[in-house]
Structure 1
Amino acid sequence: MAMTHMRNLKSGLAGLQAANGPLGQNSSFRHLSRLSIHRTQHVLPVAGQSSSQGLHPPPVLAVLVSSTVDTDPPFGELNLFLQEVIYCAAERHMIAYVVTLPALVSLSPPIAGWTYHNGKWHQAHFPVPNVVYNRIPSRKIEHSSVYQRLKQTLQERNIYLFNQTFLNKWLVHHHLSMADELKPFLPETHRFDGKASLAMMLSKYPTVFLKPIHGSLGRGIYKLNRLGEGFTSVYSTLNGEIVKSFPRFKSLVVYLSKRINKNNYIIQEGIPILQLKGRPVDFRALMQKNRQGKWSVTSMVARIGAENRFVSNISRGGEVAKLVETLQKCQIPEIKQIRRSMITIAKRVCQVIDQSLDDHFGELGVDLALTHSGRIYILEVNSKPSKTDHTLLSNNQETKGRPSVHRLLDYCLYLIMYNK
């Protein structure tokens, strides 16, 4: 069965190869590891220089957050990542700082921001940035008049803002489904309309998922199972799962109608994803634009959910693991081919989103699933991929900075110097 699905996978990837070039292009993990070791290979060559050294004034990157926290250090789970950005930018003769939305919105210099020096965070004043990288963690704040005013002002001043907004699951699915080469990798998905779509999907599949269109971190998801004449609902919380049983379809509909707004959900086919000792496994590809402004894979990891959980999110007790080792433990054949295929699919996903949406993105997290028979599915796309300390780092990366930081700076320099 696995070999049959591998043949089908190779056939289904033919369209992706046509759109993307040779299968696995830009997917060499050995090359990425070299980038993490040799800093000079990360530097964007400009006018004979190996970095932005010699440019006056130097390039300026502002990392936008909504606010600081009351504790020290001030940026919660982003602290280590932001320290790396500031350190690696300085090594390239760039200025990078962290700024809150209220401090940046006027764009009047000097701008009050934060830098990291001698093991401590310090407040200081900085010039107006050339590029703004959005790490605001809240959809509500992104919808605020203050943030919308900032977007407009940045556009008027020709200042680049990337990763401008969170993604809408339904719109993402709609655009991906319009790409013929991606259709084989999409689970059946519909806009949830209540009883009708629920009955239709549960008649076709023994398990379906209800997912909030604007959800993230595994919040708000219902797993619904058809068991004989009855049904179960499983809802994931930070403290565990809430399981309810229903003898009739009508009672399930009543239960859900009291808890969710049908206009804000999608309903999706349940996929028999990989399990490792009873724990769900999926995969996150961190895709970033490189020094040529093209989508490229920076890293790919497995995410293993906590015991007795149906989501693999780190915020719900999951853990990050190495992709190849995890596939070996799951006894998946043709691992190299699977990995190349995942990268090719993820790259095409990013290209389609770029072509379909007006917003500007420089990095995306593409979540993929794999069945035991070798079939790949596209689960979700995240415009604010995790930057927590859970990221797998090698010893060299801990001292040199993780590859995602270097590629982030590559793209910023591309925007500043080659896209004026």
Structure 2
Amino acid sequence: MLSFKFYISQFDVNDQLKPNQFVIPRKIASIWQIQHKMTGKLLFHFLSCDVEVLIDDTLPDTVVQVEPSIASHLSLLTHKRVQCIYDYKEKTFHFGPSVGVVIGDIQDSQENPFGTITNYVTEMAKSADAFHFPFHVFSYKDVTGSFIHGYTLHDGAWKKGTFPLPQVIYNRIGIRNQEKSVKGQDFFRKLTEMNIPYFNDQFLHKWDTYSHFSKEPTLTPYLPKTRQLKTRQDLTEMLNFASSIYLKPFWGKEGAGIIKVHKEKGSYFITYPTDRGWQTKNVKTIDQLVELLHVRIQKRQYLIQQSITPLHHLKTPVDFRILCIKNSLGEWQSCSAIARVGEDNKIVSNLSQGATQKKAISLLREFFPESEAVQIERFLHELAKHGAQVLDRETNGIYGELGFDFMLDNDIRVWILEVNIKPSKGDSIQLAKNTFPSIKLLLGFCEYLTGFSEY
């Protein structure tokens, strides 16, 4: 039988203790019915040691003491705050839950060591500390055996060190090739062998996501007509169906590689990104169009999707990003909604392409009565949560976070544009200073995956 959780706010190293001595306060000893000088075991993930348990009447209720060799062996020297669960039958003290964020590359910069997600993981580390979670950020390239060479936040600064592999891993490797590399696959295989849960399992490309959704009758009404671009016939048939279409790379992100084709009065207008910004060309024949697209696309896989005309009173592209996170019960919860307003000369509304953002409800209130604006936003939340549940059911691995992009057309019809498996954090809207609404939920999900949320 396991006890309720004990929140340790201070892990003192006492060099006056004899080897393998572990000191706990009288209050917790009384609650857990622990006898003075009994033998037991300390366990921090896969690291353990046998101890003699001492009881100290003078210790504050949230403080424990260990002799130096124990702290060193359990890699607890850098962790002052941690949760503890006691197993009465095995006489074992379980420490944790340690949380790790794995990324691709770490930069040699104290101000921005983790690239665009530095601010996010910094806030995550602060919240983890408040929850009594040991927290680390590391690269999959910096793993040796069962230990990582990563970073922990200490006194407001990121400090490098060597730590045991965390008990749960949040996958934020941002480049598919890194995730699929030999070293990347070796890393995930190691986690599986050690029974370490990790979430945001792997990238899913746009066609995979569309295929999963198209099997679900409750989602098909919200899917734009979409097909793979394999032949000239695919292109002509889609242009016969819709005069305006988007060509999207399977693996593109932040609007990269998107091409818009518009057919009007016998001409084809092609808009695409270049080093000098967005450029539009027009050709007269389908042969010229195919030739131009071939140069742009080359051997990359693309899909074709009908263009959705946004609300008539919006002169620029606008979409709505709904973020879904799994909570401490392992259930999907929709936690934030933003509107992204593109620039006049852009065909996308990604923030990396110059778009601006605001709360979704604020933008909806500009064009709809209060009750209708609230109803629309609520529907976006519910549709995103349902989509997350479907994707969870149809895919392998664990996903704990999904970003849904929606658009409203002139008939106030909602369309699912795409789903981001690893939503960008560098441009996340902050609803309050230094606060990200998803962090508490995400840490709760981490606790759920380790089993600590049950106590």
Query: When the two structures are superposed, what TM-score results if normalisation uses the length of structure 1?
Result: 0.83
Match 2:130 to one of 74, 91, 100? 91
Does residue 298 (structure 1) correspond to residue 303 (structure 2)? The answer is no
Please name the residue that 2:418 is paired with. Answer: 380
User: 1 or 2 for the larger relative contact order (CA 8 Å, sep ≥6)?
Assistant: 1
CA distance in 2, matches of 1:72, 1:263: 37
Deviates more, 1:254-263 or 1:77-86: 254-263
Q: Which residue identity lines up with residue 349 of structure 2 in the other structure?
A: S
- Offset of residue 367 of structure 1: 0.7
1:205-216 mapped onto 2 (5 Å cutoff): 205-216=242-253
Name the count of aligned residue pairs: 369
Does residue 47 (structure 1) correspond to residue 81 (structure 2)? The answer is no
- Offset of residue 418 of structure 1: 6.3
Higher strand share: 2
Q: Which runs of 5+ in 1 are unaligned?
A: 1-45
CA distance in 2, matches of 1:163, 1:95: 20
Please name the residue that 1:200 is paired with. Answer: 237
1:113-128 mapped onto 2 (5 Å cutoff): 113-128=150-165
Aligned residue for 1:258, secondary structure, equals helix
Structure 1 contact 320–392 (Cα < 8 Å) conserved: no
Please name the residue that 1:100 is paired with. Answer: 139
CA distance in 2, matches of 1:337, 1:175: 27
- Offset of residue 50 of structure 1: 8.0
Structure 1 contact 68–100 (Cα < 8 Å) conserved: yes
Larger Rg: 2
- Offset of residue 60 of structure 1: 0.7
Q: Which runs of 5+ in 2 are unaligned?
A: 9-81, 86-93
Aligned residue for 1:102, secondary structure, equals coil
- Offset of residue 201 of structure 1: 0.7
Does the C-alpha gap of structure 1 residues 207 and 284 become closer, same or farther in structure 2, counting only changes over 3 Å?
same
Structure 1 contact 238–316 (Cα < 8 Å) conserved: no
Structure 2 contact 269–281 (Cα < 8 Å) conserved: yes
- Offset of residue 275 of structure 1: 6.3
- Offset of residue 392 of structure 1: 2.5
Query: When the two structures are superposed, what TM-score results if normalisation uses the length of structure 2?
Result: 0.77
Does residue 321 (structure 1) correspond to residue 355 (structure 2)? The answer is no
Q: Which residue identity lines up with residue 438 of structure 2 in the other structure?
A: S
Please name the residue that 1:132 is paired with. Answer: 169
Structure 1 contact 207–269 (Cα < 8 Å) conserved: yes
- Deviation string for 1:103-124 (max 9, x for gaps)? 13x4423x21112222322112
Please name the residue that 2:26 is paired with. Answer: none
1:201-350 mapped onto 2 (5 Å cutoff): 201-237=238-274, 239-261=276-298, 264-274=301-311, 278-331=315-368, 334-350=372-388
Does the C-alpha gap of structure 1 residues 208 and 190 become closer, same or farther in structure 2, counting only changes over 3 Å?
same
CA distance in 1, matches of 2:436, 2:266: 52
- Deviation string for 1:171-197 (max 9, x for gaps)? 110110000000000000001113101
Does the C-alpha gap of structure 1 residues 48 and 86 become closer, same or farther in structure 2, counting only changes over 3 Å?
closer
CA distance in 2, matches of 1:162, 1:348: 19
Does the C-alpha gap of structure 1 residues 413 and 209 become closer, same or farther in structure 2, counting only changes over 3 Å?
same
- Offset of residue 165 of structure 1: 1.2
Identity percentage of aligned residues: 35
Does residue 77 (structure 1) correspond to residue 116 (structure 2)? The answer is yes
Please name the residue that 1:37 is paired with. Answer: none
Q: Which residue identity lines up with residue 269 of structure 2 in the other structure?
A: T
Does the C-alpha gap of structure 1 residues 418 and 71 become closer, same or farther in structure 2, counting only changes over 3 Å?
closer
- Offset of residue 213 of structure 1: 0.5
Deviates more, 1:117-126 or 1:162-171: 117-126
Q: Which residue identity lines up with residue 228 of structure 1 in the other structure?
A: K
Please name the residue that 1:31 is paired with. Answer: none
Aligned residue for 2:392, secondary structure, equals helix
Structure 2 contact 310–410 (Cα < 8 Å) conserved: yes
Q: Which residue identity lines up with residue 69 of structure 1 in the other structure?
A: Q
Deviates more, 1:184-193 or 1:273-282: 273-282
Aligned residue for 2:446, secondary structure, equals helix
Structure 1 contact 284–300 (Cα < 8 Å) conserved: yes
CA distance in 2, matches of 1:156, 1:72: 33
